[in-house]
Chain A
């Protein structure tokens, strides 16, 4: 590691100042406010608040609805992360291999990167519209009555599909650049030792992709938990009712629609702790297990 030591004492602090002030104003201060309000029961019309201690948290823990949403968020995150990574990896491996039309495929597969989540959600909704959607027609051929916004798991499936669709290009780009950095000589040596393409993939390419894969795993988990708000909002038409939701949407719903600022803050604190845990896991893993060459 480079250690060019400058004797200036105040310069590094000046350099850090912009970043630190941004973080304090836009993260630590709101975070502190969230923790503080999570101990209060706010009047919905803004006339003061009452200290209730941990009551908001206890309410969450005992709320069947909240636990159901947490469960759905878990399933949603696992499924979206798995499929968007798997599809992207499959496509990246193939796109890395073919010679003819390789750049055309790459361009086509990256295109959706530019689609905004709410637009993706709207498209998903139009595809699965109860009476006009092409997907609904496909299900009808198989004799299944596909009813988005009415049936819990039908709505969940289109949310998952859209979220995966939206995330594949990002993963594809990263996997492709990861694959291109796997050295050709290693691959050719493996080609001599192991004639099976699948065997070569699992023993050579996959471990060498581990740093990229791990980074993507973390970003995909945060994506499915936090950045799918627009997708859920458009698919449920901002009126979720008994449709599946993620925890972030629930925070918004309780805080801004229900005016329950205390409960909403308690939920954001729970999410904050979750993210913090994820960050620590990421850091530990980066330090120990995954070796970047």
Chain B
């Protein structure tokens, strides 16, 4: 056991291999995200003509400004910020509502002895 060891106690080659796998995994996960971000910095004409972009263009701020501030919809007042606000309210509402309601029900089933407890559990669980 005289091979060189890293601080963790594992052989150096094995540690390198771990990093290699993690690098590969990170690349697999992040390439599309990076591509999306870079593509967002070109004009839509350019994207329609040559697809995904793997370089930086100069339209990044213009595109985001359009996505967030261009108003549309029936009343002409719906822009990205309004939609973001709506999504946020719904998201928080659902999350908090779900947790509170199911916590009450779980509390009732666990801490009280009553005849309906078992049927109530199954009624909820099967959904």
The reply to whether A127 and B116 contact each other, CB–CB distance below 8 Å, is no
The smallest C-beta distance from A81 to any residue of chain B, in angstroms, reads 18
The reply to whether B114 and A126 contact each other, CB–CB distance below 8 Å, is no
The reply to whether B105 and A97 contact each other, CB–CB distance below 8 Å, is no
The reply to whether B123 and A23 contact each other, CB–CB distance below 8 Å, is yes
Q: A16-B105, A19-B105, A109-B29 are in contact. Are A5 and B110 (CB under 8 A)?
A: no
The reply to whether B8 and A12 contact each other, CB–CB distance below 8 Å, is no
The reply to whether B29 and A165 contact each other, CB–CB distance below 8 Å, is yes
Chain B facing A: main interface SS: helix
Q: A112 to B15, alpha carbons, bound, how many Å?
A: 25
Q: Which listed residue (B6, B26, B117, B124) contacts A109, Cβ 8 A? A: B26
* A189 interface residue per 8 A CB criterion: no
The reply to whether A115 and B22 contact each other, CB–CB distance below 8 Å, is no
Please name all residues of chain B whose beta carbon is closer than 8 Å to the beta carbon of A126 when the two chains form the complex.
35, 39, 51-52
* B107 interface residue per 8 A CB criterion: yes
The reply to whether B114 and A15 contact each other, CB–CB distance below 8 Å, is no
* A87 interface residue per 8 A CB criterion: yes
Please name all residues of chain B whose beta carbon is closer than 8 Å to the beta carbon of A129 when the two chains form the complex.
51-52
Q: Which of A41-49, A88-96, A223-231 contacts B (4 or more CB under 8 A)?
A: A88-96
The reply to whether B28 and A18 contact each other, CB–CB distance below 8 Å, is no
Q: A91-B21, A98-B19, A98-B22 are in contact. Are A19 and B101 (CB under 8 A)?
A: yes
The smallest C-beta distance from B125 to any residue of chain A, in angstroms, reads 7
The smallest C-beta distance from B101 to any residue of chain A, in angstroms, reads 5
Q: A94 to B114, alpha carbons, bound, how many Å?
A: 48
Please name all residues of chain A whose beta carbon is closer than 8 Å to the beta carbon of B22 when the two chains form the complex.
91, 94-95, 98, 105, 109
* A118 interface residue per 8 A CB criterion: no
The smallest C-beta distance from A84 to any residue of chain B, in angstroms, reads 12
Q: A112-B33, A126-B52 are in contact. Are A105 and B114 (CB under 8 A)?
A: no
Residues of A13-65 at the interface with B, using a CB-CB cut-off of 8 Å, are 13, 15-16, 18-20, 22-23, 27
* B83 interface residue per 8 A CB criterion: no
Q: A133 to B101, alpha carbons, bound, how many Å?
A: 46
Please name all residues of chain A whose beta carbon is closer than 8 Å to the beta carbon of B30 when the two chains form the complex.
108, 111-112
Q: A9-B114, A13-B116, A91-B22 are in contact. Are A112 and B29 (CB under 8 A)?
A: yes
Q: A97 to B18, alpha carbons, bound, how many Å?
A: 8
* A288 interface residue per 8 A CB criterion: no
* B74 interface residue per 8 A CB criterion: no
Besides A13-B108, A90-B21, 16 more A-B contacts (Cβ < 8 Å) are A11-B108, A12-B109, A18-B105, A20-B123, A23-B124, A87-B25, A91-B21, A94-B22, A97-B8, A98-B19, A99-B6, A105-B26, A109-B26, A115-B33, A126-B35, A132-B52
Ranked 6 nearest A-B pairs via Cβ: A132-B51, A19-B105, A15-B108, A12-B112, A12-B108, A108-B26
- B residues in contact (CB < 8 Å) with A: 6-8, 10, 14-15, 18-19, 21-22, 25-26, 28-30, 32-33, 35-36, 39, 50-52, 54, 101-102, 104-105, 107-114, 116-117, 120, 123-127
- Would you give 25 A-B contacts (Cβ < 8 Å), ordered by A? A12-B108, A12-B109, A12-B116, A12-B117, A15-B105, A15-B108, A16-B104, A16-B120, A18-B104, A18-B105, A23-B127, A87-B25, A90-B25, A91-B21, A94-B18, A97-B18, A109-B29, A127-B32, A127-B52, A132-B50, A134-B51, A134-B52, A134-B54, A168-B29, A283-B125
- A residues in contact (CB < 8 Å) with B: 2-6, 8-9, 11-13, 15-16, 18-20, 22-23, 27, 87, 90-91, 94-95, 97-101, 105, 108-109, 111-112, 115, 119-120, 123-124, 126-127, 129, 131-134, 165, 168-169, 197, 276, 279, 283
